[in-house]
Amino acid sequence: MEMTFREDESRIQKDYGAENFSWLRRLAISLLKNNETRNGSIRNKRLRAGYDFKFLLEVLNAVSTAI
């Protein structure tokens, strides 16, 4: 997980910021892992979600359909 978001280089230190962002990173990774497309690594899926709005919505819609 550290390699995907490069947590070691994060400069967030004030109050609960680091803990909050850690939680958000774990959420993002679990959403990407649950996505069933065969694009290889979590890193590739994260990059694709950044470039392709439809893919991002597909990843986020998995949450609403699971509830």
Range(s) of the domain holding residue 22? 2-66
**pLDDT category, 1, cuts 50, 70, 90?**
very low
Looking at residue 61, its pLDDT comes to 87
Which helix (H) or strand (E) is 9 found in, with range? none
Q: How many residues does the chain have?
A: 67
What pTM was estimated for this model as a whole? 0.68
Greatest distance between any 2 Cα atoms in the chain: 39
For 9-63, what is each residue's pLDDT tens digit?
A: 555 666 677 777 778 888 888 898 888 877 678 888 989 999 999 999 999 887 6
With DSSP H G I counted as helix, E B as strand and the rest as coil, what are the percentages for the chain, rounded to 5?
75, 0, 25
In total, how many domains does the chain have?
A: 1
- Nearest CA to 45 out of 53, 60, 55, 26 is that of 55
